[in-house]
Amino acid sequence: MRQSIVRVVFFMGILAGSFSCQNAEKPKHVKKQSSSQASEKLNVLFIIADDLNCDLGAYGNNIVQTPNIDRLAARGVVFENAHNQYPLCGPSRASFMTGMYTNQTKITENNMNLRNSVPDVITLGQRFRQQGYQSVRIGKMFHYDNPSAIGTSGNDDIYSWDQTVNPYGRDKIEEHKINTLIPRRYGGTLSWLAANGKDEEQTDGIGANEAIEKLDDFSKNGTPFFLAVGFFRPHTPFVAPKKYFELYDREEIKIPESSDSYLKTLPEPAAKSIRAKKVQLNLEKELAQEIKEAYYATISFVDAQVGRVLDHLEASGLDKNTIVVFTSDHGYHMGEHGHWQKQTLFENATRIPLIISMPRIESTAIAPKRTMSPVELIDLYPTLMELTDITIPEHVVGKSLQAVMKDENALVRGSALTRWRNGYSIKTRRYRLTAWGEKGALGYELYDHQNDNSELINLTSNENYSELMDSLKIVLEQRISQASIKPDGLGRQIENAKAMQKAKNITFGDLHDKQGKRTYLKEK
């Protein structure tokens, strides 16, 4: 299977916009770094799952089996009120890798190249490279079309990495076997498969193997590293070996109920967001249970791969000097509000799991804790900079979470901001306010999580909340305004950059004529 792994190693001499060739000799004032100085640096293992919501044991879900993520949570800081900045893969990833909001990255679609919008930005991986770290990506970190771009570099940013690995597994070879609501549609359509074979044959299993190999290399040579491991699951299609499906009793899985009368309580854009995917509305109970079982099984599969990587981190001894981060790019509806997948401004889509575990050495140790402090995914960039004692680039507008890691009651911000198209939403410790259209011209939503954590009761017409709502409106408008300011030190910021034109997905084994029309559909 290793022959199928695509490796791309980028050796970048001088970045665009740096010195010209004739001026590229090393400045005399630059000091050489000793090997002892390099070994004293804290490493970072950054693990991200794709389309993973908070259906984890560590976040209170008693059905989904995630023992490895749970044990990481038991020794780390668990952020229970963490939110992404745009509930769609590409924009969210561009935000947290640059530490900026989508109004600043100018990326609100998938398949957009980061450098077409903000060509001079210093990404998280790039900043580690600048400080003598080996920055390595395995799997999905920036946007990939999942699953069609698996095995390729997708819409990656080559300046972020010294090395990249693009695993390609059995799930791609056997894509034709996948069950789906629309033939040969997988990434944006509910699709699933209880697969044959072993973990290590799947793309994410191969990714875990590659991460283990890299950890071995780092343990031998003592090189400081930023190792970014991006798993493609549980993003659709929900593919995992059969043993993970066997962990669940399908008939016991509950599907939330939602009536169309509920839509009348919502602004039109909000109602449209949870009724956008027509083929996924009003699924029969048995089918919905089968799909949700597949999502849970795929989460458990990803958890197992996370466990393999964490086990090897400990076996290699690198755990004593490595910060571990686990997160997701956005949340995911599993029937809540009558919706499946993401792309809403409800808690199900904005909230993400976020766990940071520090090395167990006296100089860096931070006691395990849980916090309800509102935090944002873009806060990861400055947090990792501060934890590794690296100067934060001027353009980064996220806030370091180190204060919250030391004191769970500390606040670095009063609310977490998420945008979706023409809507903006803030989540405080207790409330969520969402505005659609400029200054709420298309309507508002207000939810009180103390009494309604499912966000089913819109309180905008409740007079008891009018004063609160007025104050939150002011906060929200201030947050939007601040998130729209071009950051200092960013360099060029290009408006209206276009997304890459996509070709149709080709499932291995299908045949097409010269116009691209499918002439043969490979059978299961």
Report the catalytic residues: 89, 143
For 240: left if phi > 0, alpha if psi spans -120 to 50, otherwise beta; the answer is beta
Q: CA-to-CA distance for 381 and 364, rounded, in angstroms? A: 18
Q: Encode burial over 372-398: b for 16+ CB neighbours within 10 A, e otherwise.
A: ebbbbbbbbbbbbbbbbebebbebbbb
Do residues 161 and 136 touch, judged by C-beta distance below 8 A?
yes
Rounded to whole angstroms, how far apart are CA atoms 348 and 332?
A: 6
Q: What is the DSSP letter of 431?
A: E
Which residues, including other chains, have CB under 8 Å from residue 347's CB and lie 6 or more apart?
331, 427, 432, 449, 453, 455
Handedness of CA 365, 218, 1, 149 (dihedral sign): positive
Name the helix (H) or strand (E) containing 386: helix 380-387
Which strand (E) or helix (H) includes residue 406?
helix 402-406
Partners of 225 in beta bridges: 134
Q: CA angle 277-144-199, nearest 5°?
A: 95
Give the Cα separation of 206 and 140 in Å (integer).
13
Q: Residue 30 corresponds to which tokens in the numbers above?
A: 């630059």
∠ at Cα 379 (337, 441), nearest 5°? 45
**CB within 8 Å of 447: residues ≥ 6 apart:** 431, 432, 455, 457, 458, 459
Q: Report which residue type is found at 196.
A: N
Q: Hey, which bits of 379-442 come out as E strands?
A: 416-420, 423-427, 431-436
- Say which DSSP state 268 is in: H
Q: In what helix (H) or strand (E) does residue 483 lie, and over which residues does it extend?
A: helix 466-483
